[in-house]
Structure formats: structure tokens, C-alpha cells
Amino acid sequence: MIRLGTRGSKLAMAQSQQVADEVARVTGDAVELVEITTPGDRSMAPVTQLGVGVFVSALREALEEDRIDVAVHSFKDLPTAQPDHLSIVAVPPRADARDALIASGKTLIDLPEGSRIGTGSPRRISQLLALGRGFECVPIRGNIDTRMARVGDDLDAVVLASAGLIRVGRQGEISEFLDPLQMLPAPAQGALAVECRKSDKTLSAILGKLNDRYSQTAVAAERGLLARLEAGCSAPVAALADVSEGEEPGDIDIYLRGAAIALDGSHTVKLSSTATVAADDDVFQTASNVGRALAEELLAEGAAELLK
């Protein structure tokens, strides 16, 4: 029996069950979902107050204490510093990385000036304000159902991650998938991280079969940028890597976009770059360096001032 740790929210359970099914397929073993309550689940305070890693720490403690064998995280929730004794052994195929608008069938351009839009993400708030439409951004917390229920009540719309809505089967209620040109996603949004103890070498090797090299490359580039900017998962930093097959067999081409946005939306530094990860490269290291290089360019253009 393999014990797979997960948060207890509807979304976390749904995505963890998907991973559990794949783990059972590649190992031939039964997989038990073990629900772990994190500090972030016990508080309704804004994530910006709770701090980086608030949804992760309890799962990692359970790994360290051998109460679970594997943990599944939303990759965008992970701090950029990886504990020495734990390994991210797989990034399964990434879901849609875009943000989604829930607005009773209206698109973003349909919403009148001054509309009340619910989101607790500084990244989303800053990009909505940058549109110059006079939107009022209302900080919200809670699960997907709770946030969506407020549309038509005290909110005109909410912005959520497309991947989460798809994983819980509510994609039919999405009014609009927001184009990254309007709303660049959070680094690693839509991706999952499968983590286990580094000492569990046999399990690590088996779980590695769940890894999708293209998704791993994209996430590594985006998080390399985030790490160099020394920004947490709640900072107004956005990044998206589009990856495709390179010219040579096994090569992966990267088109990376990154942005740092002032909290009030008054100023944005946005740049892009291209690179190739060769077939025999260390995917994580090479792609991460691509992200760090773009971050250096963002810093040269004044990103640090926007993130203070």
C-alpha cells in the first residue's frame, strides 16, 4: 500500500486522485489517499499574510515523519527552495495554465467599468487594474464552490485558475479563458508536483515514470525566473513558458514570457526570450537557467522596484 498525502479540499482531492490512479497503474500497488490539513486550510486570512509554503509545510512534515510515502502539491504553491532530503520526482502532464473568468456568461470586455471582481491574488489584481477599466478587486478566500457562488450575489465576476475548474468538472461554467496577453499566469500554474523522500530511491524511480518532460521544462523555466526575482507565490510576478519539439530529436524549444507588475497596476515590466533544452541536458538546470536569465533582464528594466 502506497500512502499518498493530499490536502482535503475538493480540488486537492480530485487532482490527487488522478495522480493516485497513475501511481497505481505504474506500480501495480494499491494507493491510499491520506488527508493532511495545512495551516492555509485552517485560516481565511489572505495568502499574502499567511506566507509562502502555507499549503505545503504540513504535507512535507508528514513525509519527513513517514506518515505518507508521496505528496502531491499544486506546483505554484511550492517555495522555490527545495529541501535537501525531499525530491520532486515527477511533473505530470500540465493542465491549462490560463486564468479563467466566471461572470455569468460575460467576457472581460463585457463587464462595465467599476465591476466588482473577486480574487485574492496580487498578480491577478495588478493585471486587472492595469487594464484601466476601473475594476474593483475584492479579496476572497475559500474553495472553488464558495468563490463561484458569490458571482451574481455581491460580485460581478471571479477569476480562478482554469486547471482547477477543469479538474473538478466545472469548466462548463467558465465565461472566458483569459488570454495570457491580458492576464499572464502564475509560474507553474496548472502543474502538479509529485514529491517523496530522497532516500526512497526505488519509489522515486518508479514515480519518475509519471514525469512529462515538456511540462517539467516549462515549470522549471518559470520557477527559475521566480527564484531569481526572490518573489513568493503570492507576489505580482507572472510567467508562462510555451514548449515545443526542437529541430533535433529530443530537443525542447522554450518561448518564455515573464512580467513584474506594480500592485496598483500603474507599471509593468514584461519581457520574453527563447532557448533550447538539448536532449542530453539536465532539464531542470538548463530550463531554470533560462528563467533566471530572463529575470536578470527584468531586473535591469526595474522589476525590483515594482516588487518592493
Residues identified as active-site: 76-77, 123-124, 141, 147, 233
Residues in the chain: 308
DSSP conformation class of 77: G
Query: For residues 221 and 290, what is the distance between their CA atoms, to the nearest angstrom?
Result: 6
Instruction: Please tell me the distance from the alpha carbon of residue 262 to that of residue 277, in angstroms, as a whole number.
Output: 32
- Cβ–Cβ under 8 Å, residues 103 and 151: yes
Residue indicated by cell numbers 505518507: 68
CB burial class (10 A; 0-12, 13-18, 19+) of residue 81?
A: exposed
Picking from 297, 287, 272, 298, the residue whose alpha carbon sits closest to that of residue 221 is 287
Please, which residues have CB within 8 angstroms of residue 100's CB and are 6 or more apart in sequence? 159, 160, 161, 162, 165, 174, 175, 176, 177, 178
Sorted by sequence, the CB contacts under 8 Å of residue 276 that are 6+ apart come out as: 246, 251, 252, 253, 254
